[in-house]
Amino acid sequence: MNHFQRKRGVLHAERIPLAALAEAHGTPLYVYSTATLTRHWKVLHRSLAGLDHVVCYAVKANSNLAVLSLFARLGSGFDIVSGGELYRVVKAGGDPGKVVFSGVGKRDDEIAFALESGIRVLNVESAPELARVSIVARRMGVRAPIALRVNPDVDPKTHPYISTGLRENKFGVSVADARRLYALAATDPALEIRGIACHIGSQITELRPFLDAIARVLALAGDLRAQGIHLEHLDVGGGLGITYHDEEPPHPDAYGAAIKKALARWDGRVFLEPGRVLVGNAGVLVTRVLYVKRSGRKTFVVVDAAMNDLVRPSYYGAYHTVELAGLPREDAPEIVADVVGPICESADFLAKKRRMPEPLPGDLLVVRSAGAYGFAMSSNYNARPRAAEVLVDGDRALVARRRETYADLVRGEEPAPRAERFTASRG
């Protein structure tokens, strides 16, 4: 369910036509729906009723301050993977006490920032990292709250780039290593064991991988408790998928029921790290047609959005529905075309071999399900300013991030000095 619907044939974001937003704010343009974001968070939260839980939104999916502040007001926790994401959460009014910090490469300054901020827990992913956390905590004179991220060696049956729970992935520690490291952490006065964590991947469309991972982590947690190692919480990760094309992921109600059943004997708190399922279908990318180009047997619809704006199709081979924002012309012939952007790469496409009414230059196309890993993965490649982001709430629109300018592209840079100045500085 999302709040991007057609009214008299015209696609709206809640009560505002997308064409009106494009006219006011330009293109390419990311548009998010407050009603959809709110509904998705509440549906997932309610699906876990009766379970002592904290929904920790995965900031990496969409880190816009407007989105984060909306979730913070709903009572959300946050899953972060960098110091920058923690800064964003704090700036958005998030509660650091509901923040879990994951990731395999935390720097000393990021660890220190997390401890200063009073986050809930650092999810430690290796023996060297455990040692670094201890060193930083000793230096600061504090105890670091930690959990070990366990790699349960479960196949999530998703794209290999977003699979994180197999033995060959870089994430987490094995069950055997976890036993040893928990015993070590229990004797370290600079460390405070809070819980145990796992996360097996993203865009998962079956329940079985989640349940298999939980079963393996629960077995380890039981053994640790029997050895006197107290665990306050269990973090089951995130990764529930959405429908981009023909996927049929479990409804959050089914997911919640399965999680509650799997954790029926767990008496601690449960943390979850949903990202895509909360924001993916709550956002679209609006782009304007520049030309329709024919080259031999191929037809290309050239638009003003590109792989720097939405890299998922070229990076993952991901499918996004693409449709006209308005009604097609009555006499528009049907074409099969690739939707491509201006970037100087053959990989620059948003869609391939799509059947659509032939658009005219100036028409608007809408790329669906772009709220997750859309703007968050965008770049300035080919010196292209990044798109604006707008958050719609009913009939109101907030510019959540202004469009970048050419001046923004060179902020922080300096031209090289003349050769004689190099010589003078050496002398």
pLDDT of 169 strictly over 80 = no
Q: 319: domain CATH number?
A: 2.40.37.10
Spatial CA neighbour of 326 closest among 14, 3, 19: 19
Q: H helices then E strands: how many in the chain?
A: 13, 20
Q: Are 90 and 221 in a shared domain?
A: yes
Give pLDDT tens digits for 356-378. Answer: 999 999 999 999 999 999 999 99
Residue ending a domain, among 278, 313, 346, is: 278
- For residues 365 and 322, the answer to whether their CB atoms sit within 8 Å is yes
Q: Give the model's pLDDT for residue 418.
A: 84
Give pLDDT tens digits for 283-297. Answer: 999 999 999 999 988
How much is the mean pLDDT over the chain? 93
Q: Are 286 and 262 in a shared domain?
A: no
Q: Are 218 and 361 in a shared domain?
A: no
Which residues span the domain enclosing 20?
4-31+280-409
Q: Is 20 exposed, middle or buried (0-12, 13-18, 19+ CB in 10 A)?
A: middle
Active-site residue set: 344
pLDDT of 162 strictly over 90 = no
Residue type, 114: A
What pLDDT band is residue 172 in, cutting at 50, 70 and 90?
A: confident
Q: Are 18 and 157 in a shared domain?
A: no
Q: Are 223 and 259 in a shared domain?
A: yes
Give pLDDT tens digits for 2-56. Answer: 899 999 999 999 999 999 999 999 999 999 999 999 999 999 999 999 999 999 9
Q: Are 143 and 44 in a shared domain?
A: yes
What pLDDT band is residue 165 in, cutting at 50, 70 and 90?
A: very low
Residue ending a domain, among 278, 312, 335, is: 278
Q: Give the model's pLDDT for residue 161.
A: 43
Q: Are 227 and 120 in a shared domain?
A: yes
Q: Is 395 exposed, middle or buried (0-12, 13-18, 19+ CB in 10 A)?
A: exposed
Q: Give the model's pLDDT for residue 168.
A: 54
Distance CA 108, CA 133 (A): 8
Q: Are 169 and 262 in a shared domain?
A: yes
Q: Give the model's pLDDT for residue 425.
A: 59
Give pLDDT tens digits for 215-238. Answer: 999 999 999 999 999 999 999 999
Give pLDDT tens digits for 110-141. Answer: 999 999 999 999 999 999 999 999 999 999 99
Q: Give the model's pLDDT for residue 164.
A: 46
Give pLDDT tens digits for 174-206. Answer: 888 999 999 999 999 999 999 999 988 878 888
Three-class secondary structure of residue 316 per DSSP: helix
Spatial CA neighbour of 294 closest among 333, 329, 258: 333
DSSP bridge partners of 421: none
What pLDDT band is residue 422 in, cutting at 50, 70 and 90?
A: low
